[in-house]
């Protein structure tokens, strides 16, 4: 019994694990909440593309020796506005503008890494995440961004849901759909930035999409999907953190695998219920 308790308690004797736990819970809450809107709008590719697009900002922050958040946040917000602007001003589809910016900015980030001398980070850490290396400042920034996103979602939830299901109808009744779209994109950018150190650029889309998809298989009402998705996200993040510590594996892949396993369990349950009815 003592050995089992040690498995759960001992990791948090270290301050870096406490910091990692706080960030993991934030990721487990924020990603699924925004992920439900992303899945409903069919914007799964957007999360992946935006995550790759903030790489130049992160690399610049590492070169300057400052927190990667200070580079990724303005880059993510700029990318979000650029995507919305291209789609509305030049009638370029979101997929097209995303693909162009994704490839160009990610390539710029890789070139910056190759040209930088003495940079204190590996490409693998950026791509796969390194949550055990988060600092106290990172925790404060993560909590602040998480609270900001929660406020936006809480205040504008009904408008965002209406716009997600019926954009034309929302425009007809006078909702500021353009502003709501921009706010959703900026919120998505902030959530991606929060998640980068936990799961990395490559796997951030998994924490956005997989818990939300699992929630949609288990319940039907939009708000219930959000709640179930958050439970799945937090469970996946915390279990993945334990696995990363005890098995000495990257945090991002371990969180993603837990979320994926839950998704397939939800899919199996959904199929059983569908056939029985």
Joined tokens for residue 225 = 């999907």
What pLDDT, on a 0 to 100 scale, did the predictor assign at position 88? Answer: 65
Domain ranges of the chain: 2-276
What pLDDT, on a 0 to 100 scale, did the predictor assign at position 5? Answer: 66
What pLDDT, on a 0 to 100 scale, did the predictor assign at position 126? Answer: 73
Q: Beta-carbon neighbour count of residue 22 at 10 Å?
A: 17
Instruction: Report the CATH fold assignment for 2-276.
Output: ABC transporter involved in vitamin B12 uptake, BtuC (1.10.3470)
Distance, CA of 75 to CA of 263 (rounded, Å): 31
What pLDDT, on a 0 to 100 scale, did the predictor assign at position 3? Answer: 61
Task: Give 56: exposed, middle or buried? Use CB within 10 Å, 0-12, 13-18, 19+.
Answer: buried
**Which three-class secondary structure state does DSSP give residue 86?**
helix
What pLDDT, on a 0 to 100 scale, did the predictor assign at position 90? Answer: 64
Q: How far is CA 155 from the centre of its chain?
A: 20
Residues 6+ apart with CB under 8 A from 156: 180, 183
What pLDDT, on a 0 to 100 scale, did the predictor assign at position 195? Answer: 81
Q: Give per-10-residue mean pLDDT for the chain (277 aa).
A: 66 81 88 87 76 84 79 82 70 69 84 77 71 79 85 87 80 82 82 78 82 91 91 92 84 88 94 81
Q: Beta-carbon neighbour count of residue 135 at 10 Å?
A: 13
């Amino acid at each position: 019994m003592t050995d089992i308790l040690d498995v759960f308690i001992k990791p948090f004797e270290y301050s870096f694990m406490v910091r990692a736990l706080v960030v993991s819970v934030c990721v487990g809450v924020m990603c699924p909440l925004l992920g439900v809107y992303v899945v409903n709008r069919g914007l799964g590719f957007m999360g992946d593309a935006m995550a790759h697009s903030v790489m130049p900002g992160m690399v610049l922050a590492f070169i300057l020796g400052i927190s990667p958040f200070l580079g990724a946040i303005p880059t993510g917000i700029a990318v979000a506005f650029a995507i919305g602007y291209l789609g509305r001003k030049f009638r370029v589809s979101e997929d097209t503008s995303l693909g162009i910016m994704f490839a160009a900015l990610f390539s710029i980030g890789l070139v910056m890494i190759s040209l930088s001398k003495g940079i204190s980070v590996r490409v693998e850490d950026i791509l796969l995440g390194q949550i055990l290396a988060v600092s106290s400042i990172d925790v404060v920034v993560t909590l602040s961004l998480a609270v900001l996103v929660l406020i936006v979602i809480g205040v504008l939830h009904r408008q965002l849901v209406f716009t997600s299901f019926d954009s034309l109808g929302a425009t007809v009744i006078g909702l500021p759909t353009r502003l709501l779209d921009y706010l959703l994109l900026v919120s998505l950018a902030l959530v991606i930035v929060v998640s980068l150190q936990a799961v990395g650029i490559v796997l951030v889309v998994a924490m956005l999409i997989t818990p939300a998809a699992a929630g949609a298989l288990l319940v039907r009402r939009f708000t219930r999907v959000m709640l179930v998705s958050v439970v799945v996200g937090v469970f996946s993040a915390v279990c993945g953190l334990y696995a990363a510590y005890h098995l000495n594996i990257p945090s991002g892949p371990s969180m993603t695998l837990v979320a994926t396993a839950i998704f397939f369990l939800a899919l199996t349950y959904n199929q059983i219920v569908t056939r029985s009815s």
